[in-house]
Structure 1
């Protein structure tokens, strides 16, 4: 009785680990594609200066 429980438990952990590795691979591929598309995309934008509205344009 304990052998099937051990096999099922280890199988669940193995499936979870495989899903985690696939997720990591997808994130790395997307991160690489973004950096290839726009090299500036990897820089933080919080330090950028806020663009001021042009003179004469009102909302």
Structure 2
């Protein structure tokens, strides 16, 4: 999962299209767990990443 967040700023449209097709309750749960465990890593990768994560956590 970390690679998704690290490159997010480079290929936003393509990544969002893939995520839209792949996200389900299991993947949302996995992302929530990752963010909770690695929030500092996520925060260091930019505000745009955090905004996406907030959307994922709210779903």
Same topology, TM > 0.5: no
| Structure with greater helix share of residues | 2
* TM-score, scaled to structure 2: 0.30
Bigger radius of gyration? 1
